[in-house]
Amino acid sequence: MEIRATIIGVADSTHYLVGVTDGQEKFVALPQLNDIAVCSSLCEAKQLLIEHRFDSAELHMESAYDEMCGLPSSGVYKQLLTL
């Protein structure tokens, strides 16, 4: 099964969620961990993935501000990171 390392950040949040996106586009825990990891910085999230032998990751940045203002979601910003 194909998996992609994924880091999710939310605007104004103090943490990043780290896991993998599976072949069905579900965000789940790293295969080596039981839960989705919570990291306090982007550097910490990258280091966790490096320690688990990943060499790249998708960074998804999300914001709830559009929905809070009653506007349609502007979508998710994605960037491929080389670790």
Q: Regarding predicted confidence, which is higher, 69 or 12? A: 12
Separation between Cα atoms, residue 58 and residue 60, nearest integer Å: 6
Q: 6 in helix, strand or coil?
A: strand
Please give the average per-residue pLDDT across 38-52, as a whole number.
97
Q: What is the pLDDT of residue 66?
A: 61
Residue 76 has pLDDT above 90, yes or no: no
Q: Which residues contact 74 (CB under 8 A, 6 or more apart)?
A: 63, 66
User: Is it the case that residue 33 has pLDDT exceeding 80?
Assistant: yes
pLDDT tier for residue 63 given thresholds of 50, 70 and 90: confident
Helix (H) or strand (E) holding 43: helix 42-51
For the chain, what is the domain count? Answer: 1
pLDDT at 61 over 80: yes
Instruction: List the domain range (segments joined by +) for residue 22.
Output: 4-82
